[in-house]
Amino acid sequence: MIILITGASSGIGKQLAIDYLDAGHKVYCCGRNQHALKQVEKQFPDLVTILNFEVNSLIDCKRQLESLELLDLAILNAGTCEYIDAINFDAELFSRVVRVNLEGTANCLQYLIPKIKRGGSLALMGSSSSFVPLPRAEAYGASKAAIEYLARTLRISLKSANINVTYIAPGFVKTPLTDRNDFPMPMLVDVNFASTHIRKELKKRTWLIHFPRNFTWLLKIVRVLPTRVQHYLIAKTLAY
Ligand SMILES: NC(=O)c1ccc[n+]([C@@H]2O[C@H](COP(=O)([O-])OP(=O)(O)OC[C@H]3O[C@@H](n4cnc5c(N)ncnc54)[C@H](OP(=O)(O)O)[C@@H]3O)[C@@H](O)[C@H]2O)c1
């Protein structure tokens, strides 16, 4: 397969890239950190193409993505997380997170959708934080809830082009992004678990990939409870 992964320089995206490369697929590895991308390229010189760009620059996206060959799979995974102090709401912080997670995804979509083969797949990296409101995740959760909506609509809109769209909603995965968290992360899994699960489920062209199931099913159950109960449970268990 010919695959493109944004955020392939670190964490989940890097592990996905390595595992697909290990299986002999050709991977366009995207990110800003040239040094980290070169480390991946060194291991698989014949299969890696580095695309070094900022997802929140439409001009950069155009320059890097417009003339690509046709892809079997694009995984739009690049993302960031910052937490909000709601009492002192910081609109700049909110905007920083939304610009990368949501607008960055949209920038890539503009140039990548025409590059996905008929019969190919597009996966958008969200988060299980889009299932329920989590404390301090006003910016991150809102950006991921918007990604969930975006993926839902694209799944319908791109059906006629025979492009499968999948929404990926991980729980906590140990990466440099979560290493910054200062609170306990229930049912934390590692990047190998995440990559194995995502790759297995992407093969099935499913709508939703969520893991670890014991954590994400809990959130999905909480999601359908009455709002008052939902908020009570979240405040009781996740008041960090
Ligand atoms: N870890 C978790 O528990 C978890 C849970 C749910 C969802 N997710 C989602 O999974 C995705 C990957 O997260 P991770 O945990 O693997 O984090 P990570 O290790 O920090 O990796 C983030 C990746 O995104 C890229 N990136 C960030 N900002 C970018 C920008 N402005 N332009 C281009 N690339 C950018 C980074 O590349 P450069 O630094 O090279 O730019 C890096 O490769 C994110 O969308 C995150 O929201 C993670």
pLDDT in tens, 140-182: 999 999 999 999 999 999 999 999 999 999 999 999 999 999 8
Q: Residues with Cβ within 6 A of ligand 1?
A: 7, 9-13, 31-33, 36, 54-56, 77-81, 100, 104, 125, 127, 170, 172-173, 175-178
- Predicted confidence band at 240 (pLDDT cuts at 50, 70, 90)? low
Cα 111–chain centre separation = 18
* Element at 120 (helix H, strand E): strand 116-125
Q: At what angle do helices 91-98 and 138-157 cross, to 10 degrees?
A: 30
Q: Which residue has the tokens 């909506």?
A: 149
Q: Domains of the chain (ranges plus CATH)?
A: 2-237 (3.40.50.720)
Nearest CA to ligand 1 atom 1: 173
User: What pTM was computed for the model?
Assistant: 0.97
Identify which of 18, 32, 195 to mutate to test ligand 1's pocket (most ligand atoms within 8 A of the CB). 32
Per-residue model confidence as pLDDT tens digits over 46-67: 999 999 999 999 999 999 999 9
* Element at 74 (helix H, strand E): strand 71-76
Residue-level pLDDT at 234: 86
Give exposure, 32-60, as e/b (b: 16+ Cβ within 10 Å): eeeebbeebbeebeebbebbebbbbebeb
> What's the CA gap between 175 and 105, in Å, rounded?
20
- Give distance in angstroms: CA of 228 to centre of ligand 1: 33
Per-residue model confidence as pLDDT tens digits over 188-231: 999 999 999 999 999 999 999 999 999 999 999 999 999 999 99
Identify which of 76, 124, 144, 175 to mutate to test ligand 1's pocket (most ligand atoms within 8 A of the CB). 175
What proportion of the chain, given as a percentage, has pLDDT over 90? 94
Three-class SS state of 43: helix
| pLDDT of 238 higher than 80 | no
Identify which of 63, 77, 210 to mutate to test ligand 1's pocket (most ligand atoms within 8 A of the CB). 77
> What's the CA gap between 148 and 184, in Å, rounded?
25
